[in-house]
Amino acid sequence: MVIPAITDVTMAALCPGRDECSVAIYLTGFQQAIIGLGTLVMMPLVGNLSDKYGRKALLGLPMGLAIIPLATLAYSRTRSFFYAYYVLRTLTAMVCEGSVHCLALAYVADRVPEGRRASAFGILSGIGSSAFVCGTLSTRFLSTASTFQVAASVAIVALVYMRVFLQDSIVDGNISTPILSNGKSKVDVIGNSSKNVQIFKTMPSLEDMLCLLKSSVTLSQAAVVAFFINFSEVGLHASLMYYLKARFHFNKNQFADLMVISGIAGTISQSLLMPMLAPALGEGRLLSIGLFFTCTHMRTIVSKQVGTSEQGKAQGCISGIGSFANVVSPLVFSPLTDDSHDSEYHDEGGSSHFK
Res 203: pLDDT: 56
If 0-12 CB within 10 Å is exposed, 13-18 middle and 19+ buried, where does residue 270 land? buried
Measured distance CA(333)–CA(30) in Å, rounded: 11
Res 171: pLDDT: 47
Res 76: pLDDT: 95
Res 228: pLDDT: 78
Measured distance CA(249)–CA(242) in Å, rounded: 9
Measured distance CA(315)–CA(257) in Å, rounded: 32
**Phi, psi (rounded to 5 degrees) for 305:** -90, -10
Helical pair 3-14 and 252-268, crossing angle rounded to 10 deg:
150
Residues 170/194, Cβ–Cβ less than 8 Å: no
- SS3 category, 6: helix
Measured distance CA(89)–CA(83) in Å, rounded: 10
Res 163: pLDDT: 93
Report helix, strand and coil shares of the chain as percent, to nearest 5. Answer: 80, 0, 20
Measured distance CA(25)–CA(341) in Å, rounded: 11
Measured distance CA(185)–CA(296) in Å, rounded: 38
Measured distance CA(319)–CA(304) in Å, rounded: 16
CA distances from 61 to 57, 94, 354 (A): 8, 12, 53
Res 47: pLDDT: 85
Interior/surface letters 295-318, b for 16+ CB within 10 angstroms, e for the rest: bbbbbbbbbbbbeeebbbbbbbbb
If 0-12 CB within 10 Å is exposed, 13-18 middle and 19+ buried, where does residue 88 land? middle
Res 185: pLDDT: 41
Measured distance CA(278)–CA(195) in Å, rounded: 42
- SS3 category, 179: coil
pLDDT in tens, the chain (355 residues): 898 899 999 999 999 988 888 888 888 888 888 888 888 888 888 888 888 888 998 999 999 999 999 999 999 999 999 999 999 999 999 988 888 988 988 898 888 888 788 788 888 888 888 898 999 999 999 999 999 999 999 999 999 999 999 988 764 444 433 333 444 444 343 344 444 445 445 556 667 777 877 777 877 877 787 777 777 676 667 677 888 888 888 888 998 898 888 888 878 877 777 777 777 777 677 767 766 555 445 666 677 777 767 777 777 777 777 767 777 777 777 776 666 555 554 454 444 333 3
